Chain A
Amino acid sequence: MALIEHLTQEYLRTKKLPHIWCPGCGNGIVTAALIRAIERTGYDQRDVVIVSGIGCSSRAAGYLNFNTLHTTHGRALAFATGLKMARPELKLFVIMGDGDCSAIGGNHFIHAARRNIDLNAVIINNHIYGMTGGQHSPLTPTGMKATTAPRGTLERPFDLLVLARGAGATFAARGIAAQPRQLEQLIVRGATHKGFSVVEALSPCPIAYGRRNKLGGAVEMLRSMKDSSISVERAAETEDAELKDKTITGVIYSFDAPEYAEEYYRSISDNKG
């Protein structure tokens, strides 16, 4: 209890509450996991910066008591890249939604991964554009309904973590709002990883996504999220056929590669000498 009070007082801008999120939204769960993760890293509060894009999830920045940068739609990683290069000692967490990161911000996402710049991307994936009332995103599963896909979307979603791997990311993990403790651990691991880290957090949007697709309320959505997920360790022992409709959670990959900001500053000090 004491820890929760401490975190609330120190890391939340309680005067800015209540938040704007709908009843049953998973953004609060993910934000809480992020706060606990930051506490666990032991970072100095002054060194932590929260950068976000535009959308429901990106509003989290305004509620967090750090230096917070709420940018333009899709561009959070590009702002963060500039800030990180200017001030490599800062610890940057970049909160984005699925539309924000994978559609309008897709180019910045692959290039942040390619540079392996030490940013911690936390992507809250609720499979829908929530702020604008429920349009399909690049991560909306085929066949699901949205206001801009009233008969179900024909488009195919992609796996953000596979994309990141192809582009050069050195750490990726997936968690779900139904398992906030695991999510917290994954964010900690991403944060302490040197290089570009991606944590995808699946999160329910009962209002703009669940209702239209008859997925039930928040409780049902969280339950089915949990039922359909499998840890990466268990998945390794499971037949591929059984994994077809499963969401694999945990650290999907993690390895070392040169980090861009560090390499840059090393190269300029070498030149000087």
Chain B
Amino acid sequence: MPETKPVLMQGNEACALGAISAGVRFYAGYPITPSTEIAEHMAEKLPDLGGVFIQMEDEIASMAAIIGASIGGMRTLTATSGPGFSLKQENIGYAIMAEIPCVVVNVQRMGPSTGVPTAPAQGDVMQARWGTHGDHPIIVFSPASVYETYYLTIAAVNLSQKLRQPVIILLDEVIGHMREKVLIPEAGKLLVEKASDLVPSDWKPYDEKGLTPLVPFGFGHYYHVTGLFHDQYGFPTGDPPQVERALDRLHHKLEKNRDEIILTNYIGHKEPRVAIVTYGCTVRSARAVVTKAYWQNRLPVGLLSLQTIWPFPAREIEALAKQVDVIIVPEMNMGQIVGEVERYARGQAEVIPLNRYDGEMINPDQIYEQMGRWLS
């Protein structure tokens, strides 16, 4: 990225600035620790950009309001934490069904329930996947740094626009509140993809032939938007073949764009025997382990970090499992992504969970110790 300038900022701030860089001009939210700084930054910055900040009466209304604003043609975002994320779920499902783009940030905190509001945890991995009812597709990013938060927020906004699909950013409390250097591109250097303004005269909101850009309300296309199963014009249907086609449509658009959605990163030995698979802030501890074990001691180890956790990077795990004897999966929960890793390892490698759920980060020594057992 040319002509960038380094800025020290907090993860939550990077999320807000990334969103603004990506063209988000509408934010609706409700205060909740540890995500509140995102709302505060938006409240400060959006009015000067001609955008809208609105503090809604609750989390449900915040989710509803961003969907409403998206239908009006704005790029939208809301941020929350576990309890609020639970409340947003019904309307997240609505946005998936009605194919309305929007970005939802969940700065995770220790649960269940009110839990430890200021403690980090990665307990919402499965809620992000299956929180809303029905057989829905979802895209979930999990940044490992403030820098990644900035760029993944931009990617989230662009993807949500392109696919007319809600994208969730599952931020860790540790990332949200940490200050780190981010390289901010100068104005105009950033890739912000715009949905096509050119609308064919036979435009249909849910065209059977494939994805069409959303034409906002107020331009003379009198279509219907509903959470009911609908035909290509948006009108309710209960006809079994149409229902099945409509659900396939939602899933196929993600499958077709898999390469753009699935982001992972491998570092370490070319022919590893032991690999770590993790995401979010736990990547940071795993990186320290790889630095010591591989870069310093040349041990056959590697790290596959998952920036995208849903849809699950199945192919990447399958390929990794063929290479290694053991995959260690550290997570700040009682074991959520590890089940997916096991599923796609298909018995080719032993999958070992490493869990911590006391509100503290997994430290490098814990991973190193676990790994040592398999290298000796």
A and B are partners in one complex rather than unrelated chains? yes
Of the residues A70, A85, A272, contact of B226 by C-beta under 8 Å? A70
Q: How far is the CB of B204 from chain A (nearest CB, A)?
A: 14
A42 close to chain B: CB less than 8 A: no
A-side residues, CB < 8 A to B, are 13, 16, 45-47, 49, 51, 61-62, 65-72, 75, 78-87, 89-90, 107-108, 110-111, 264, 267-268, 271-272
Contact B48 A271 (CB under 8 A): yes
Q: How far is the CB of A15 from chain B (nearest CB, A)?
A: 9
Q: How far is the CB of A46 from chain B (nearest CB, A)?
A: 5
12 more A-B residue pairs beyond the given contacts A81-B65, A85-B65, with a C-beta to C-beta distance below 8 A: A49-B217, A62-B235, A70-B224, A75-B61, A82-B64, A82-B72, A85-B26, A87-B72, A87-B217, A108-B64, A264-B52, A268-B48
Q: How far is the CB of A208 from chain B (nearest CB, A)?
A: 21
Q: Give chain B residues whose Cβ lies under 8 Å from the Cβ of A86.
A: 26, 52, 68-70, 72-74
Q: Give chain A residues whose Cβ lies under 8 Å from the Cβ of B220.
A: 45-46
Q: Give chain B residues whose Cβ lies under 8 Å from the Cβ of A45.
A: 220, 222
Contact B65 A79 (CB under 8 A): yes
Q: Give chain B residues whose Cβ lies under 8 Å from the Cβ of A66.
A: 222
Q: Give chain B residues whose Cβ lies under 8 Å from the Cβ of A107.
A: 57-58, 61
Contact B222 A67 (CB under 8 A): yes
Contact A78 B217 (CB under 8 A): no
Give the contact-size bracket for chain B: 35 or more
Interface residues of B in 11-63 (CB under 8 A from A): 26, 28, 47-48, 50, 52, 54, 56-58, 60-62
Number of A-B contacts (CB under 8 A): 128
Q: How far is the CB of A216 from chain B (nearest CB, A)?
A: 32
B236 close to chain A: CB less than 8 A: yes
Determine the distance from Cα of A272 to Cα of B225 in the docked complex, in whole angstroms. Answer: 35
Q: Give chain B residues whose Cβ lies under 8 Å from the Cβ of A272.
A: 48, 50
Of the residues A46, A62, A111, A267, contact of B47 by C-beta under 8 Å? A267
Most buried by A among B52, B62, B227: B52
- What's the dominant secondary structure at chain A's contact region? helix
B218 close to chain A: CB less than 8 A: yes
Q: Give chain A residues whose Cβ lies under 8 Å from the Cβ of B235.
A: 13, 16, 62
Instruction: List, sorted by A's number, 16 A–B pairs whose CB atoms are closer than 8 Å.
Output: A62-B235, A70-B227, A70-B228, A78-B62, A79-B64, A81-B56, A82-B54, A82-B64, A82-B76, A84-B68, A85-B65, A86-B26, A86-B68, A87-B216, A90-B218, A108-B61
B374 close to chain A: CB less than 8 A: no
Q: Which residue of A lies closest to B71 (CB)?
A: A83
Contact A65 B69 (CB under 8 A): no
Contact A68 B222 (CB under 8 A): yes
Q: Which residue of B lies closest to A52 (CB)?
A: B226
B66 close to chain A: CB less than 8 A: yes
Determine the distance from Cα of A95 to Cα of B57 in the docked complex, in whole angstroms. Answer: 20
B67 close to chain A: CB less than 8 A: yes
